[in-house]
Amino acid sequence: MPTLKTATILGAGAMGSQLGLLCAESGLDVKLWDISNEALDKGNELINTHLDRRVKKGRLTAEKKDDFLSRIEFTLDMKAATENTDYLIEAVIEDLDIKHKVLKEAHEHAPKHAVFGTNTSSTLITDIAAGIPEPERVIGVHFFNPPGTMKLLEVIYGDKTSKETAEITGQMGETLGREVVYCVKDTPGFVTTRLLGAIVNECVWAAEWGEADIIEIDAAVKYRLGMPMGMFELLDLLAGGGISVQYHVGKYLTEKLGDSYRNPPMVDKMFEQGHLGKDSGRGFYVWSDGKTNEVPFKLARNVDPIRFFAPLVNEAAKLVENGFMTKEDLDKAMIMGLGYPRGPLRMADSMGLDKIVEEVNRLRATHAEERYEVSPMLAELVSEGKLGRKTKEGFYSYGPGEFELITLDVDKETKVGTLTINRPQRANALNMDCFAEIAEALHIIEADDDVRCLVLTGVGRNFSAGADISMFASGDLDEMIHFVHPLQDLLTRFETLPKVVIAAINGACLGGGLELAIACDLRVAVEGALLGFAEGNLGLFPGSGGTQRAARLIGLARAKEMIFSAQPIQADKALEWGLVNTLANKSEFGEVVQKTAQAMADKACLAQGIAKRVMYYGEQCDQRTGVFLEGSSFPPVILSEAANEGITSFYYRRKPRF
């Protein structure tokens, strides 16, 4: 396999220029081609503006900026751009004739080993590859915007794409630092665009058919499913007009897949009227006169999001069962490319596949649309009683030790176990499935005589930023009471586990994350970590024992200061207050945690366990009463107007108006 040293970007627009910069930052020499000096100048300006912004923020040195720019050559000459290249990325507009013209000219000059990647988001790779005599050298490389920060690369095979082309593309993805997923069979819209279009259209159809108001649908998607935005919000806020994109993608999918994939009339009408979103002043929402169109949290209670989510899962199942992408890659693609809180197949397992199938069948009976035909894979799973987490098997298996949201590692030699919260894309936010997995991990640790100490930490830059807001969005008071008290019992298990538990606070430790940490026996924090009860900013208060444990740990006055102000404190102040036991700098953090854990593991485990329980129960004359009162008082607060304002403002990054 050739070593990748040079890259050619065909098209110097917004995406092409960013891809050129990404290649240069990754150590490749880049030729950036376009048809006019004006286009090249704009690309050059975009690159310089981006680099200057990073220099100004101190994220890049002037020397590094000059180094990156020295690697990029702008040219109008196709031969000069391609004759010595290792990898070409076509990034021209979504017009098949133009793509054919550009690729054909590039093919005339490119060396035989060069691969042709096409950065399209929906067009069949096979159709694009037909533009050159060697279609086996063409492959889809769907980068996500902005490519410098969006780490996903969706690689799509054409019908004739060779194994070597795919392998070199995988090498290219690795060179660029991307997380690569593979769509190994060509299909319109591939996986990410196809599935995004599916849930967008279902939301629009629901509004079209009068099932709910637009803003209620957005609230359900945003807060109950935990998506970054409601789908109407998304289309309105996409640069250049998401409604235009949805219109054209819908037309293309209808042409290739049939009338069931057509746009709802609402999309066609808005496109024809030029109401393309915020940039045009109007889309699904009116954006004139400074309107912000915030979607209130409380409206999420009005609509069950399974209405939109079940058809998405059904479409995803069809893609997996027909061999377009593995379930693991599909879930990763939706998380990393579209900001999903979890993979849709994992989310379906949590909802219950029987409920998904029931909803799809209801839609099929009501609307007689082909897209509501239940996927054979889904139907078979349900018929076999594989309904998801509740039966320990669905799309995935959930047997003993099979975790999604945590990892559990045991070092038999040191007798130290490590439980790691593994939701980096959500700042390790805690949800009910995460709590259930933590509970199972505690069972495993307690039963394992080879483990004498447990370390609890988080993946990436966060310990845990708190509870996942989607847990509270249904507005069902009984449901919230049902999970608050078991959650409090789970944290009590950390206090009564007959083994020492150390919270290794590797970054932000906020809200429910701090409640979890203070239920541990010891806390080791990295310098610069933030610790705090942020619930007050949302119109809430700690509801999993935080009010009681914090007061006992650092005193009533300090606990009140933290809870009432809702302001986090730095790790050094947390050490001073007694909230953490040990502070370590970043380079020594892992070593300090390991030494602390080893010191605990070297002692008599039986004595430690008994001592823990004696201290816990000896202090419980009134804590259990306090914890019960806290848990009983928390659910009504989440239904308050203050909580609605606090959570809504949090999502829109503004100061709450209580």
**DSSP-assigned states of every residue in 537-569:** GGT----SSHHHHHHHHH-HHHHHHHHHH---E
User: Distance (Å, rounded) from C-alpha 603 to C-alpha 453?
Assistant: 10
User: Distance (Å, rounded) from C-alpha 623 to C-alpha 625?
Assistant: 5
Distances (CA, A) of 462 to 106, 428, 498, 584: 46, 7, 27, 16
As a three-state string, the secondary structure of 472-535 is: HCCCCHHHHHHHHHHHHHHHHHHHHCCCEEEEEECCEEECHHHHHHHCCCEEEEECCCEEECHH
User: Distance (Å, rounded) from C-alpha 114 to C-alpha 639?
Assistant: 59
User: Distance (Å, rounded) from C-alpha 506 to C-alpha 495?
Assistant: 21
Distances (CA, A) of 576 to 278, 291, 435, 554, 580: 49, 46, 30, 10, 8
Tell me the pairing of strands 453-458 and 500-505.
parallel
- Say whether the peptide bond before residue 146 is cis (omega within 30 degrees of 0): yes
Locate 164 and state its tokens: 């070597």
> What are 6's strand-pairing partners?
29
Contact between residue 371 and residue 315 where contact means Cβ atoms under 8 Å apart: yes
Side-chain-facing half-sphere of 97: CA atoms under 13 Å: 0
User: Distance (Å, rounded) from C-alpha 419 to C-alpha 498?
Assistant: 16
Side-chain-facing half-sphere of 38: CA atoms under 13 Å: 0
Q: Which residue numbers are catalytic?
A: 515, 535
User: Distance (Å, rounded) from C-alpha 651 to C-alpha 233?
Assistant: 13
Strands across the sheet containing 500-505: 406-411, 416-421, 453-458, 500-505, 522-526, 582-584
3-state secondary structure of 82: helix
Contact between residue 381 and residue 390 where contact means Cβ atoms under 8 Å apart: no
User: Distance (Å, rounded) from C-alpha 133 to C-alpha 156?
Assistant: 19
3-state secondary structure of 24: helix
